[in-house]
Amino acid sequence: MAISVTAALLIIGDEILTGRTKDKNIGYIAEYLTGIGIDLREVRIVPDVEEEIVAAVNALRSRYTYLFTTGGIGPTHDDITADSIAAAFGVAIGVDPRAVALLRERYQPHELNEARLRMARIPEGADLIENPISKAPGFRIGNVFVMAGVPSIMQAMLDIIAPSLRTGARMIIETIEAEGLAEGIYAEGLSQIASSNEGVSIGSYPSFSTSGFRNQIVVRGKDPDAVTTASTAIRELLGRLKGDRAPL
């Protein structure tokens, strides 16, 4: 039986919810985790409000193998993620000498003002996540990984985190073109195939482009034989339906 390792992603920041900042991390993290055999099961976005961050962290970290967070670990007053994570775990937080040493690689002593030292405040018992770009670290506590919201920094942190993660079987994805067929024509047959192949996930995805209308059916699963069986059944279904529509 395929091992399932699950994850959730918590996006933290008022700027995401107001639309001022367009999130670029969800798709990247989802694809990254899928590629290494971790199933991203849930994504939440919460504002810079401690009680909401704490509630989300405690709900998600207990439900999934891993929880990843992005945002809210900078030097300004509204960067409250570290404090909120400490509150969620019920531990103290303070300026961490390890984090200060990393910041000193970037800043001169006179530049390490009170605001920048906020980026060195780490919950007690947490391990640091290196930041090779701007030096201000993220951290891991329990099964929670706290990363920056800036995409380039988040991506660098994720590369550093990845080797330490437990992974499961990788998702196998097969895409089938339903050429010339609308969803309403194959929906019933596709539903029957989905019911008969519980070991896979089957989805139908219509799209529009300058070249016209397009339908794709995507089969996902971790058992190669199950994916092949379902995909074969779908291709046979589409073939029959196209035959029925062929001109006399």
For Cα atoms 227, 232, 233, give the angle at the middle one, nearest 5 degrees.
100
Tens of pLDDT, residues 33-71 = 999 999 999 999 999 999 999 999 999 999 999 999 999
> Residues near 12 by Cβ (< 8 Å), separated by ≥ 6?
45, 46, 47, 48, 53, 69, 70, 71, 72, 81, 149
Write out the two tokens for 61. 């970290």
Tens of pLDDT, residues 216-235 = 999 998 889 999 999 999 99
Cβ(29)–Cβ(40) under 8 Å? yes
Distance CA 85, CA 93 (A): 9
pTM of the full predicted structure? Answer: 0.83
